Structure 1
Amino acid sequence: LGALDETATLTQRGLVHFVGPRDFTAQDAVAYHDGAQPGAAQKHYWLRLRWQSGDFVFPPQARRVLLNTTWASQAATRRDEILGSSNGDPGQRFTAL
């Protein structure tokens, strides 16, 4: 599994990008809620990260795993364009085109 690592091997904040295998399938797992008794078996996808060498003063922690996502932005800069006017009355509504 190839990856693009922006974290310098988990030593700084950043993103690790990868595309999972085509045959990635859900496995049966017992769900725990708030550390309580196990619930009903559910299907989950498992992702394991491991480092092969080196030591950490503070072990890295994953804040979140985002699936099927991409960064995106769409913007256009307009300068000196009049967007409308208002008389200051409360409750006015405006529509962006």
Structure 2
Amino acid sequence: NDFGYESVFVKQVEALVNEGDIFWAISTSGTSPNIVEATQLAKEKGACILAFTGKTDSKLERISDICFCADGPTARVQEIHQLGFHIICKLVEQNFCE
């Protein structure tokens, strides 16, 4: 309760993210303060930033190394993001778990 909502993910990033990690940030607007703050810290710690957003030229896109922007209505953006999650998870599974 001592930290605001904007910092809800910062403690996890401080404890778990290391240089060379991949940090996956997801925000439909690309401007969610809690996601942007955590992503900025992950970048400062040397992580590669992969982002999914629904808006081009958002704060999240500008601080990301790789950004998938699916512009459109919120529900459609989230459906596209969900498909992207499944594709990436399947690729990780095929390449590292089989």
User: Is the TM value for this pair above 0.5?
Assistant: no
Give the TM-score normalised by the residue count of structure 1. Answer: 0.24
Which of these two proteins has the greater Rg computed from alpha carbons?
Answer: 1
Bigger helix fraction: 2
Give the TM-score normalised by the residue count of structure 2. Answer: 0.23
Greater relative contact order structure (CA < 8 Å, 6+ sep): 2
